Amino acid sequence: MKIIADENMSAVHEIFSPYGEVVTMAGRAMTAASVATADVLLVRSVTTVDAQLLEDSRVKFVGSATIGTDHIDLAYLQEKGIHFAHAPGCNAEAVVQYMFSAFCTLEPEWRHKNIGIIGCGNVGGRLFKRLRALGVACQVYDPFLNDSECSSLSNLQTVLSADIICLHTPLTRDGQFPTQHMINRQVLEQCIRPGALLINAGRGAVIDNGALLAHLQSGADLKVVLDVWEGEPNINRELLQTVNLATPHIAGYSLEGRLRGTQMVRDGMCRHLGLAVEDSADDLLTGETAGRDGLISLARGQGLDDAILAAYSIAEDDRQMRSELIGSGAEGSKGEGTQFDGLRKHYAQRREFSYYTVSGTGEQACHAELESLGFKTP
């Protein structure tokens, strides 16, 4: 069996080689010709999988190591009898970690703010639970949930008026509740309060990036964190220079999340094709952990925010992105796109909160809070 996979899928050779020949390539470079002889196609969000890509191929299974599926023509796969699996929730913990790092960096009083969450699925739902466990006021907008599924549901207008707005919706262009350009000029000007913090770690086109740039350039009092962008990998450089924190679509890029995604796709392939699961990604994770202590020591006077930023500092990813895309003087779509993808491909290893044990005198004062986020304590 021939397996063609995105080269950025973690441990794809180790996890899939028991099932056949694994050939990796850049996800954006996949063409009908390059995948024609594949039996299995493994992708990430940068590859559009549709009739144009698969029409003349022998592909019988497509796996996407992602939460979202907006890059997959699911109707076409069903029509052709091509099995499909993805990895919902695989990187939810990593995205939640990203959000807390953003809170701590830009809004030191975040625990005393009202936080609005738009989209309460795998990621938004987990963020909601973590915030509620810490006693933070939260309101949720998700038209696909009812009160029995979430006790803090509210209307969109109310959630948009929160102090901190977190976007965790899939990208949809039709239906009763389309999310493309949900955050548009009218919303920015009329619904979001001055001084608010807007964070998008979902899909880039949920925000009209042109309207956001114009709004910020007009002097609007709005703090913005963007991990996802319209037109990736050729993003708007002016917008990059204008937002408060910018990262190259890496919110979910923890080691655990990426391995989990590859494993979930492998399990889906085995289920659909009637194959036995050969091993577990847990063994790979153990190997990656060997020789690392995962310890965070809090001094007297330090607390939860210090532990969060010690585990993951979003500011370093922001600095790296600005250095590569602005400091290097890269101009034109080719240079910017190559560098954006390069930042993702060579992203430094990042561990989730659950990897770390927090100790020290500061730990004693916030023991329960640390554990509510997944940290281990003595």
Quote the Cα angle for 18-23-24, to 5°: 115
Q: Quick check: is 126 catalytic?
A: no
- Catalytic residue of the set 107, 232, 352, 363: 232
Classify each residue of 27-45 as buried b or exposed e, where b means 16 or more C-beta atoms within 10 Å of its C-beta: bbebeeeebeebbbbbbbb
Q: Quick check: is 203 catalytic?
A: yes
CA distances from 224 to 96, 98, 211, 243, 260 (A): 17, 14, 13, 5, 29
- Catalytic residue of the set 44, 126, 203, 260: 203
Q: Quick check: is 21 catalytic?
A: no
| Residue 196 · residue 202 · CB < 8 Å | no
- Catalytic residue of the set 126, 249, 266, 350: 249
Task: List strands edge to edge, sheet with 21-25.
Answer: 21-25, 2-6, 40-43, 61-64, 83-86
| Residue 376 · residue 353 · CB < 8 Å | no
Strands 21-25 and 61-64: unpaired
Q: Catalytic site residues? A: 203, 232, 249
